[in-house]
């Protein structure tokens, strides 16, 4: 049974009407979900949709319930696609998946390119950090996400995050990594202050994880698979990690000078940026990145070396994050 | 470090050798070809520099371990590089040396030995630089 036929069977069942699926095609990029675009025609109406399906081997183990609820939480308030259906058991598609409405006419930048936003970098950057500030400013209490997401105490956010990603490295590392272990010990020795508020953390908020129209407008914030509640500075540190800088040292995310980005975030979130705390979360995010790349390398090997996205993640990005970590550790000790 | 350059090149062959289903042609295949091309370019750098980087790193780790041996009661006997300088052989030695380095660094931190701590951090910077892969300036769209 083809994937098209499986989708038709599933949608026909849940919509209680015959559904014809057409133009199914996989979208490149990403290793934590297989992403497909397709059209579903039912009762004379055609709906442009996206399927996000778990691959046989996933880059990161994530909770698709939370991902779906994140779309529910922010659709309508922010440029976030409307979720349509979710099946953690896989149903007719045999692997867990969810379906959302498709946003056409947009492009996602590859993080490995230079000047991906051209003359619109400032406009995109302003929206990018305002949207992140809006996510950080939202009280999660009444959001759909709060139904499933665990809410840590403010002084536990750092510990939970660090222990989670440390365990990923412990479980998946195939070659000793002294640099990341030194960073983990440094983070444990100098914990950050408690979170000023426990908020929604997108978990992978960065250049490349949103669609833009090529004319300076962000159309959709995507890739919520690592969403959780925690310290909102976690997202800020990830968004500003040098890995996502598009080779522009004077701009975060290749979009805006750091201070301007922070000012926009502060204004939109109503929160403050404690530089000591942000330094901790920045180093943490390089550890988190290294954990993800460590898993990618393991999945690449376990999957028979067939997914080149896992290869680039487990190889190039891992080495780049070793550089970032080594530089951060030197700065921390006043050695550079 | 994983994957090795030979893993990458074998993977490039394997991922292109099997034809995918119809929904994985077109844009997806174009993206896959682009990633494979990038991996091949980086593999060329690794083929050129990889063995020398490992020899240099292994020597630097041995040196820092030897220098600290007396103060920290290290037993010595760290593995030498293989006669045939293959990436795989060098990586096996590197894994043993890195484990010894991690243990030494933990002991250094516990003792508050700031001089050796700084030396090890400088070694980490050197190690990361030795393993650096350089992306070409790919244009955005």
ipTM of the complex: 0.96
Do A216 and A313 share a domain, yes or no? yes
For chain B, the domains span: 5-130
Residue A37 lies in a domain: yes
Contact, A298 vs A217, CB < 8 A?
Answer: no
Chain B nearest CA to A310, separation (Å): 10
Residue A30: give its domain's CATH number. Answer: 3.30.200.20
**Nearest Cα residue to B50 out of A142, A152, B58:** B58
Do A13 and A161 share a domain, yes or no? no
3-state SS of chain B: helix, strand, coil percent to 5?
75, 0, 25
Nearest by CB to residue B23, choosing from A26, A179, A300, is: A26
Do A141 and A95 share a domain, yes or no? no
Task: Give Dmax over CA atoms of chain B in angstroms.
Answer: 64
pTM of the predicted model, to two decimals?
A: 0.95
Residue A258 lies in a domain: yes
Contact, B36 vs A310, CB < 8 A?
Answer: no
Over the stretch A146-156, which tens digit does the pLDDT of each residue have?
999 999 999 99
pLDDT value at residue A59 = 45
Please say if the pLDDT value at position A137 is more than 90.
yes
Task: Give Dmax over CA atoms of chain A in angstroms.
Answer: 67
Residue A215 lies in a domain: yes
Query: Is A25 within 8 Å of B28 when comparing Cβ atoms?
Result: yes
For every residue of B2-64, DSSP letters joined together read -S-HHHHHHHHHHHHHSPPPGGGSHHHHHHHHHHHHHHHHHHHHHHHHHHHHHHHHHHHHHHH
The SS3 of residue B110 is helix
Q: Considering Cα of A257, then A260, then A263, then A269, what sign does the dihedral take? A: negative
Do A258 and A284 share a domain, yes or no? yes
A44 near B CB under 8 A? no
Residue A113 lies in a domain: no
Supply the DSSP symbol for A313.
I
Do A168 and A200 share a domain, yes or no? yes
Do A52 and A157 share a domain, yes or no? no
Which one of A56, A71, A101 terminates a domain? A101
Residue A110 lies in a domain: no
- What residues of chain A lie within 8 A of the CB of B24, using their CB? 25-26
Over the stretch A185-207, which tens digit does the pLDDT of each residue have?
999 999 999 999 999 999 999 99
Q: Considering Cα of B103, then B109, then B115, then B120, what sign does the dihedral take? A: positive
Please say if the pLDDT value at position A61 is more than 80.
no
B88 near A CB under 8 A? no
Direct distance between the N- and C-terminal alpha carbons of chain A, in angstroms, rounded to an integer: 59
Do A237 and A93 share a domain, yes or no? no
Do A124 and A85 share a domain, yes or no? no
B58 near A CB under 8 A? no
Whether residue B3 has a cis bond before it, omega within 30° of 0: yes
Residue A267: give its domain's CATH number. Answer: 3.90.1200.10
Please say if the pLDDT value at position A5 is more than 90.
yes
Over the stretch A204-241, which tens digit does the pLDDT of each residue have?
999 999 999 999 999 999 999 999 999 999 999 999 99
Contact, B93 vs B82, CB < 8 A?
Answer: yes
Do A43 and A134 share a domain, yes or no? no
Do A308 and A170 share a domain, yes or no? yes
pLDDT value at residue B136 = 87
Query: Is B8 within 8 Å of A117 when comparing Cβ atoms?
Result: no
pLDDT value at residue B138 = 86
Query: Is A300 within 8 Å of B10 when comparing Cβ atoms?
Result: no
Contact, A219 vs A211, CB < 8 A?
Answer: yes
- Residue numbers in chain B where pLDDT is lower than 70: 1, 141
pLDDT value at residue A56 = 73
* Token reading at A280: 């901790």
Domain region containing A96:
3-101
A24: enclosing H helix or E strand: strand A20-26
What percent of chain A is predicted at pLDDT more than 70?
98
Rounded CA-CA distance A230/A241 in Å is: 18
If you measure CA to CA, which chain B residue comes closest to A323? B128
How many structural domains comprise chain A? 2
Query: CA triplet A118, A115, A321: central angle to 5 degrees?
Result: 150
Rounded CA-CA distance B75/A256 in Å is: 52
Chain A nearest CA to B48, separation (Å): 16
Residue A107 lies in a domain: no
**What average pLDDT does the structure give for chain A?**
94
For A61-93, b/e burial (b = at least 16 CB within 10 A) is ebbbbbbbbbbbbbbeebbbbebbbbbeeebbb
Which one of A101, A131, A163 terminates a domain? A101
Do A147 and A93 share a domain, yes or no? no
């Amino acid at each position: 049974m083809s994937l098209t036929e499986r989708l038709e069977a599933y949608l026909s069942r849940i919509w209680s009407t015959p559904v014809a699926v057409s133009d199914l095609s996989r979208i490149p990029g990403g290793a934590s979900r297989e992403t497909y675009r397709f059209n579903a025609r039912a009762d004379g109406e055609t709906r442009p949709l996206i399927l996000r399906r778990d691959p046989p081997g996933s880059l990161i183990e994530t909770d698709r319930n939370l991902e779906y609820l994140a779309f529910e939480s922010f659709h309508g308030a922010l440029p976030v696609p409307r979720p349509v259906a979710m099946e953690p058991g896989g149903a007719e598609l045999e692997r867990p998946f969810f379906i959302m409405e498709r946003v056409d006419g947009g492009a996602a930048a590859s993080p490995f390119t230079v000047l991906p936003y051209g003359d619109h970098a400032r406009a995109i950057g302003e929206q990018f950090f305002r949207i992140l500030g809006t996510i950080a400013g939202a009280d999660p209490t009444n959001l759909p996400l709060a139904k499933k997401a665990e809410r840590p105490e403010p002084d536990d956010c750092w510990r939970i995050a660090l222990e989670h990603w440390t365990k990923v490295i412990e479980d998946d590392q195939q070659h000793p990594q002294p640099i990341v272990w030194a960073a983990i010990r440094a983070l444990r020795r100098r914990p950050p202050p408690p979170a000023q508020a426990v908020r929604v953390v997108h978990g992978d908020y960065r250049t490349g994880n949103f669609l833009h129209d090529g004319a300076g407008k962000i159309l959709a914030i995507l890739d919520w698979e690592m969403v959780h509640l925690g310290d909102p500075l976690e997202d800020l540190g990830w968004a500003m990690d040098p890995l996502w800088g598009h080779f522009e040292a004077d701009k975060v995310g290749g979009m805006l000078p750091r201070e301007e980005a922070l000012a926009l975030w502060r204004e939109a979130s109503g929160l403050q940026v404690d530089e000591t705390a942000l330094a901790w979360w920045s180093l943490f995010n390089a550890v988190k990145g290294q954990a993800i790349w460590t898993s990618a390398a393991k999945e690449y090997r376990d999957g028979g070396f067939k997914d080149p996205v896992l290869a680039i993640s487990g190889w190039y990005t891992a080495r780049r994050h070793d550089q970032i970590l080594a530089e951060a550790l030197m700065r921390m000790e006043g050695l550079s | 470090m994983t994957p090795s350059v030979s893993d990458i090149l074998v993977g490039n062959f394997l991922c292109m050798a099997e034809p995918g289903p119809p929904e994985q042609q077109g844009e997806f295949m174009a993206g896959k070809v682009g990633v494979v091309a990038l991996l091949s370019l980086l593999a060329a750098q690794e083929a050129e520099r990889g063995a020398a980087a490992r020899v240099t790193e292994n020597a630097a780790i041995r040196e820092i371990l030897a220098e600290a041996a007396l103060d920290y009661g290290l037993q010595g006997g760290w593995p030498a590089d293989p006669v045939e300088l293959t990436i795989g052989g060098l990586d096996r030695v590197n894994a043993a040396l890195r484990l010894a380095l991690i243990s030494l660094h933990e002991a250094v931190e516990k003792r508050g030995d700031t001089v050796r701590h700084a030396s090890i951090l400088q070694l980490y910077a050197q190690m990361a630089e030795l393993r650096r892969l350089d992306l070409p300036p790919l244009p955005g769209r």
